[in-house]
Structure 1
């Protein structure tokens, strides 16, 4: 599948889980983190998603340690517009000087002369409070860095249809990365806009941030977050019909939802990584797809 003129597999790998708890500090087992990254490339994954805010710096450092010099076909996407503080919060930071610094940091940490794809984290999907900097100013800054050759392609993360339209009037948008999964269709209109405009739609939290795991303790989750019994029943019936896991069915559903969709599931387990990548070969029936469509 194409992101601009880049060719990637539809299931990539998201590096957010590589650092320690709360996406902070080094992993408990650095060797395992390196093994996951190397196994991803061995399995043919050509799309890695990261951010220098993950750790901070930890995910990018691990990617470089594991994979540099990088395979020619490996696309590394990163996000800017967000930084961490001492309370481990993710905070919007999209002023021009902040964005330039974040791009330079990503370049240095990853050891690349140019970043393949850089998303501006906007916050229009409600996960992060939007920065006070006008979108035109922040996205315009990244467009300037692209003209200078530091960035190959531009993307947006956490946006509305209106924000996508505004950004595309400034510079080409190759990809949008929004929260979207089997239990959350809040970005449906954005997905359809991307499909119509030839923009890749990258689903983050494609496995509902772990909410689809069997036996998950949901007692601490806010009301409405955990899957309902009927949702679990339908998901398990479809999975059983294919001899697949819930995660594989959720990923296959995503890929069947639209030809514009890419997924970037993250994991710290080689076994789960292999399971996720194998989901690209799972083809749901029209009846399966319809039953899963009805879950949200």
Structure 2
């Protein structure tokens, strides 16, 4: 246990096909302006955190062309292109941004094809490593079939290497698997929100990566006495405890905490070295029980 920066590999890696992803990755959403809209407040700082992530050994960056929109992918290209051969850039499609900064669904064939080509162009790559289909308000399996089939077709065309699903039910995961291999599930999950406990375990049994979004609570950061108590005992931050709990929860969990700060990036990476005792785990498990 330490609060110093350590290599992400201390948490182990996870393989998706021939891609080897560090279990602590980097979520790039916060690089855009307020409400994930427009340019960053400090462009140089945004570029610096991307370079610091790769420099620290992270091989898994999560993005989307609708972050900004377009802003974050442009930053990634500027900071990191030509990309290291070991770097996996995961992106999402299935939503779009409107001038009022909303996030409506964009699940038609034309919208999905355009989104994939937008990501290819903005990131300046010939093929996308991993594309997650983001569902919105529906959890019905039937609603996923048509859009996921579109992505499966694009995969067959050689534009996508691996497919994932995001913001989905267990039934939707099964429906997707009947169409094409599912390499990744990206859902809302953290130490306080555990509705996906069974899905995490099923994904682990099948060798599917589970990538929780909002691992620290999202736009409303987690504020839990249990986190503070465990953090105080270990001499680390509550944020690091929340990330460490996820890493110890299951070996298929990959983290993509976001930050626009190099200092916070290094603190997130250091969570890989935080070991939670059985007592600490019981304290944190009681959060979900309550």
Settle same-fold status: TM greater than 0.5: yes
CA offset at residue 3 of structure 1? 2.4
Residue 76 (structure 1) aligned to one of 73, 89, 93: 89
Mapped to 2, the partners of 1:146 and 1:210 lie a distance apart of: 33
Given candidates 44, 52, 61, the residue that maps to 1:31 is 44
What is the CA RMSD across the aligned residues, in angstroms? 1.7
Structure 1 segments unaligned to the other structure (5+ residues): 214-226
Q: What does 1:195-206 correspond to in 2, within 5 Å?
A: 195-206=204-215
Query: What is the distance in 1 between the residues matched to 2:16 and 2:230?
Result: 31
Post-superposition Cα deviations, 1:73-131, rounded to whole Å, max 9, x if no partner, equal 110000001101111000111111110000000000000000000000013xxxx4579
Alignment partners' CA distance in 2, 1:80 and 1:141: 11
**Structure 1 residue 110 corresponds to structure 2 residue 123:** yes
- Contact 2:130–2:164 under 8 Å retained in 1: yes
Q: Does 1:137 align with 2:132?
A: no
Cα distance in 1 between the residues matched to 2:100 and 2:172: 29
How many pairs align?
275
1:158 deviation in Å? 0.5
For residues 187 and 90 of structure 1, do their structure 2 counterparts lie closer, same or farther at Cα, with a shift above 3 Å needed? same
Contact 1:92 1:130 in 2 (8 A): no
Using a 3 Å threshold, how does the CA distance of structure 1 residues 98 and 36 change in structure 2: closer, same or farther? same
Q: C-alpha distance in 2, partners of 1:211/1:83?
A: 23
Q: CA deviation at 1:291?
A: 1.4
Give the TM-score of the pair, scaled to structure 1.
0.89
The structural deviation recorded for 1:242 is 1.8
For 1:272 and 1:23, the matched residues in 2 are separated by 18
Matches of 1:212 and 1:81, distance apart in 2? 25
Whole-angstrom distance in 2 between the partners of 1:101 and 1:212: 34
CA displacement 1:50-80 (0-9 Å, x = unmatched): 0001000001000000000001111000000
Unaligned runs of 5+ in 2: 1-13
Asked which structure has the greater RCO (Cα within 8 Å, sep 6+), the reply is 2
Q: Indicate the residue corresponding to 1:186 in structure 2.
A: 195
The runs of at least 4 consecutive aligned structure 1 residues that moved more than 3 Å come to 128-134, 210-213
Alignment counterpart, residue 281 of structure 1, candidates 273, 278, 281:
273
Q: In structure 2, do the counterparts of structure 1 residues 212 and 135 end up closer, same or farther at CA, with 3 Å as the change threshold?
A: closer
